Amino acid sequence: MRAADQQADPAGVEWPARLNVVTGKGGTGKTSVAAALALALAAGGRRTLLIEVEGRQGIAQLFGTDPLPYEERHLADAPGGGEVRALAVDAEEALLEYLDMFYRLGAAGRALRKFGAIDFATTIAPGLRDVLLTGKAKEATTRTVDQRRVYDAVVLDAPPTGRIGRFLNVTAETARLAKVGPIKTQSEGVAALLRSPITAVHVVTLLEEMPVQETVDAVADLTSFGFPVGRIIVNGTRPPLPTGRVVSAAELRRGLLAAGLPADRDVVAGLHSEAHDQVIRRELEDSLRADLVELGLPMIELPLLPDGVDRTGLSALAEALRGAD
């Protein structure tokens, strides 16, 4: 890939894909990571587009803005003069745009909405909805003005791991079923882009048993479909414990007394139990981390944000993504 197609922070960390698809089990912080990645890729004067396709308005909630329309709008500034724009893709609006683009229906296409034809179309052909959503991401990724790309990178906040394979593969299925015409051409173009080096599918997870298992399953699913898997992004990680063993109750009591803190039996017993639970929990996390390492993919660990994910927290996650190696 040409050097110009690679996104790198000042330290030289590369995110070579132009279309970065972010998936993950529900509750892992998928949308927060997608937003942070868009901020990271916009650093240094670049422009990125953050796309939402699930209709949850999660991006607007993260940034404290009004609900996003089906229109690319400025969302945030990034360090070094960069810009993040955002788009909430609506399947109905995308279908109207598609009908106007390929069939020149214009007002006639908009009139279909009054008769419920668009809802009917996306209901009897549920795969059509996903074709429209991924098609919009493809259009934004490849769009140029005066032979220059409009966006240096596009980040797609995609559906969760449980259906990411089907979501991305629907264009290939549509291209196979459609014999001729714009639908076949459009589907083939999207399917090809999603399997090209321009695209990378990143999987967000937590060091918990269910998210890690879904990550392993999702990577296998994506690989079987031929989609390029990018990085495993482990969200909400904690710094290592200062010691690998549980100190004794007597040691705890001596430490509390030395610090001038209460050291009665109940306090010491409670702290000792909590310390033991922490060590057990960290051992489980180490085991789950090893399972992820076995996937053989680049892995990034993002810190747990004690105050939750606000604008400051997003900037901290973006900085961690820029500094990852």
Q: Which residues contact 235 (CB under 8 A, 6 or more apart)?
A: 24, 28, 29, 32, 33, 204, 205, 206, 302
| SS3 call for 221 | helix
Collapsed DSSP state (helix, strand, coil) of residue 194? helix
pLDDT below 50 — which residues of the chain? Answer: 1-13, 103, 105, 108-109, 115, 117-118, 120, 124, 180, 325
Write the pLDDT tens digit of every residue in 115-157: 454 454 555 455 667 777 888 899 999 999 999 999 999 999 9
Of 211, 219, 235, which is closest to residue 25 (Cα–Cα)?
Answer: 211
Which domains are seen in the chain, by residue range?
A: 3-237+292-322 (3.40.50.300)
Residue keyed to tokens 């639908």: 183
Asked whether 170 and 188 are in contact (CB, 8 A), the reply is no
Report field, pTM of the whole predicted structure over 0.95:
no
What one-letter code names the amino acid at 297? L
Distance CA 84, CA 243 (A): 42
